[in-house]
Each structure stands twice: as C-alpha cells, then as structure tokens.
Structure 1
Amino acid sequence: MKEVRIILNIKISVVIIGKNEEDNILRNINSIKNTVEYKKSETEILYIDSGSEDNTIFNITSNHNDIKVYRIEDDEVKTASKGRHLGALLCKGEYILFLDADMELHNLFISRILDVSKTDPGFIGGIGIRNDIFLNNGIEVYRKQNVYNTLSEKKCNHFGGALFIKREFLIGIGNYGSSIVANEEAELDSRIIQKGKFIKEYPFQMINHYIRIEDDKKSLKNILFGKRNQGIGQGFRHSFYFKSTFSFIKRFNLFFIAFFGDLISLTLVLASVINYSLFFIAILIQISLSIFYMKNRKLKFFVLHKIYALHFFKGVLNYKLGNKINFVRIDNYKY
C-alpha cells in the first residue's frame, strides 16, 4: 500500500466494514446520517469492503454518493482487522467510530460521548450500550438488551466491532493488527492496557447489532477447521512485536490457564513412563481444571480447548506481521 498522508480536518470519521451486507448497509448509513454531528458536517463516512459479491456497494453508491467507498483487493483472507486498519489510515477525523455493516447507530451516541471526552482529560475512547437483535430470514426472533450489562461508567474489558477512539492514539499504538483473523479487538485492548490506558464503558445507548441466527451457529466443521480459531495464536505472536505479551495473556486468562494446564499434564503423562505416579498427578490437574471451568460456566470451552490449542499453535507458526493492503477507491459501481 502506498504511503497515505492525512490532514485531520474532520471531527468524527465513521469507518464501516463489511462483506455481502446488502440487507444491512443502508440501515447503518441512515442511522449515522441521522446524528447531529453529520448534519453539522462534522462527520465523514468511509465504507471498507472485503470483496462483496452482492449489491452492497451498489446500494451505497446509488443512494449515498458522498460516502467514500474502498474495496480491498488482496487475494488472501480478508479480515475485519484489515478493514479497520485500512479505514484508520484513510480517514481524517480526530476521532474514529468503528462500526460493522450490520449495526445501527443510536442517534445521540456521538453527541454524548463527545460531551464525555471534553470533561475527561484521560479519555482515549469508549463504547456504550449494545443490543443484539437476532433475525431468522430477516424477521426478528428475539433480542438481548444491554449485552454487556452496562449500568454505570466503568473500565471496559470487552468491546467488539463498535468502538469510538482517538485516531492519533490508535495509530500511535500500532493500529489494528491487519493480519489477525479473529479476536483482533481483544489484542488491541491488550496493547491499550499495556500503555496504562483503557477504553471506558458508558450507560447510554450506542448500537443495535443485527445477527442472523444461521450465521451465529458454530458447526463442528468450523470448530475443527475454521481459520478464525487461529486468532488467539496470531494475536499472541503479534503481541511479541509490541512487547505486550504479558498483557495479552492476562486478557485471555481463561484460555491460557487451560493451555498451560494441558501442557503440564501432557509433560507429566510423557514422564510417567519413568514414574507412573506422575500420570495420576496429570489426571488430578485435569479434574481440578474441570471444576474451575465448571464454576466459571466455561466447561464446554475447557473440553473444546484441546482443539483450540492446536489452532493456537498453527496461528503462532503461520502469522506474518505485514500491513501492506491493496485497495481501490470506488466512485460509482454497477452490479
């Protein structure tokens, strides 16, 4: 990717990422344009596409010709982190609001979080209340209000694709890891924490997140072979480059407790050919871990962790730190 030099002359940049989101993208854009900041020309909107094969781009360019549309051209895996990384480089706002295309922004969120930023000298970013709306063939089946149970202002330890953050700070800590296939938000958060900063969580509405039930189910095939399962391993490798490994391990403590427990157990089993009593110690460790994860309501995760651990090693071994992204600007588009 060519060097990009940006002059910051916009208050808010909204970076939307998506692929094959023709059913969602106009709802997303209309919600942004319904904010006071957009109407005052303080907001720009960028859409970063990861290779849509439907009417997503056409729906944007034919209805909203003021939006900057970019399409990632890389042949390799197109990830959410790559879209956010590129969007952060191309936008020119003092703050960036990241959204996925299947999200709908609350019209007062930007105003409220900007008010907070003016009174908090340590503010670098934040999120608000997220509501998940589950759809079956486009029809709402049920919804989960206030997913993160945000009842008061507090440190945030779980932000997803929706994030409001200072652009200068984000770029300064290395931006999103563009090659990480999953859990890129948590990896970014570990670097934020490493810097002694944190994202804040506020008890006012931010987004509705529309989720297709058919896309939300994890099949056995995905568990065994899904590339997204390599995300923790890739994030772990990425953390070495930014010297945030300890913070990353703490961020994924439930994964690494099981991981190191399994490594110790495996070592003891192998050593039991010399001293058979070590085998029983290994069993005791596994029983203790099972009880621990059962109390944390994560027993299913502990059982599946044996598979996830293999994906972890694969992610560590095949990860490459590289930020070159091939993309094109699209001004008009015919489907």
Structure 2
Amino acid sequence: MKGSITIKDVARELGIHHVTVSRALRNTGSVKEETRKLIKQKATELGYKPNHLARDFRNKRSNVLAVVVPDLRPYFFSKFVSDFMETAKEQGYTVMIFQSGEKPGIEKDIIDSLIGYRVAGVVASVTKDTAQESHFDVLREENIPYVFFDRAPERTSASQVLVDNFKGAYDAVTAMINSGKKRIAYISTQYRHQIFRDRLAGYKQALKDNNLPFCDEMVVEGGFFMKDGFVHAETLMGLKQKPDGILAVRDEIGIGVIKYLKKAGYHVPNDVAVIGFDNDPMGVACEPELTTVQQSIPSMVASSFDLLLTQIKSNKLSFEKKIIEPKIIYRGSV
C-alpha cells in the first residue's frame, strides 16, 4: 500500500493543499520552512515515494491550452473563447475552457488544477477582485506560460493584451458632445477592476476637456445586464437635470437603457443619445441600433495567441504588453 501513497494523501493527512505539498517535496515555491519539514516528515511516515514516471509524463508538453474567464455569459468573453478555439485548432491545439464566476477562490482552484492537466499554456482574464497574481505562481514554477487578456492583475510580470479603456470612454463621450449633447451620464458597475476605473476616468476627462461639469449624480453603478440598464435609465431620467446622453459600460446595459427610454416616450437619439461597449450583436437588433465602442476581439485573440505561442516554442516565460485601440461603431443611437 505504501507504494500507492500520493501527494494528495499527504495533503489530506495534514489538512493542507496538495500544491503546497508538491512545492515542499520539490523544494520549490514559497513554503515556510516549518511547513516544509512537517510535510517531508509526514511523507516519510506514510511511505510516500516520488513517481518519476508520472512526473516525466506531467513534464511533457501537451497540445492543450486553457482559457480562464470570469463569466461566459457576456458576449465579449464568449466571442473571445470561440475565436481563440478556432485559432488554436488551426495550429494543432485543443482548448479547455474554465469559468471562475468572478470568484478569486474558484480562480485559484482552477489555476492549481491546470498542473494536473499538463496544459501547454494558459490565457486568462481575471476576476473583478483579483489584484495580485500570486496564485498564478504555480504555473511559473512549472514553466507553463500564461498571458492575461482584457483584465490583468494590476501588478504582474506576465505578458498581457489590454484594451485602451480610457480612450474608448473618452471617444464615446466626445462623440456625443460633437452631436450636440451637454449633459452626459455614465452607467458603470460596482466592480473596481482597473478597466472600469479607466473607463470612468476617460468619461471624466472628456467632460473636462470640453468644459462640461462633472456631476456625481450623473454616474450610477450597479449590475451588469439589460435589466440593470433599464433600472438605471429610469433613475437618471428622474433627475431634475435630465441627461441628454448616456454612456453604458456594456452594450447589454445600453440596450436596457434604450428599452426604458422608448417605453417612457423619449426619442433616441434626439432626446437622449446612447453608446455602449463591446459591439455585442444584440446592439443591431434593437431600435434604434446601438452605437458602441468596439474592442476588436479578433486583434485581442491574435495577440494573445501569438504571445502564448512564442513562449511555448521558446520554452521561456517572457513579458510583453500589447494595447488594443478601441473604435467607435456609429449606428442609430447617436
């Protein structure tokens, strides 16, 4: 029986994570010396023997890539995953998809599990609450390359592909100002990730550069979906000084805004202009069609895959940052 003792058996006996046991027994990673000694003592006591055949099998490169996203429901992430799978397939790779549900704990468990799947590389967009990349260290220790896209930890040494969210919001507000709008509101989210802070900053700067005042009541925060846009639009149009333009942090929210405005008897865009983010196909199904900030998913997919493939082929982790320029897609809501 002793020959069948595994790292997970040792971990179970000590009540700690199997990744910590693995690091301690391989003398890698950040494990306290006291914990390392305890783990080695318990491994000896149980009769644990390293399985070199399994280790060699794990260390072989596979043709499997992993994509980790916060949520597959938004168009942006589902489209990225779909396009990335097609790109990977053309190069002889298969793709595994993981969803963190915007929960850092689940994200950490996913990253830990990827070691066992022998993935060749990982592309990830982190949760709204992931500020540090420490739980990605296990990939670095196993020399598994990873690239962040869209959302990255604010302090990271990994390659990343990001959108210029400041410019996207700035250009959207400027477009409404150029169409004659003077009181522009912003429907944001309660999420505090850098990309949402950048969009808010772009909104504020566009107002400032055009000599328009910033009003706290013109910025509302809340949910992430169409129903939230409907509710927030009702709140904004209930203000004494009603907005004549609304920027939505997502297209789905923007569609909800248009639904409310039409129901309440407002004309879009004569009374109120509306712009969203993401270029969601649903934006052309509403009336009027939604003007949007396009984040060029094809460019993001191509850049993410190229950065990852370069590291896989060179067998060397590296850092490179690519910024994708957003573009306004003009339709009927401005």
- The structure carrying a bigger strand percent of its residues is 1
TM-score (norm 1): 0.24
TM-score (norm 2): 0.24
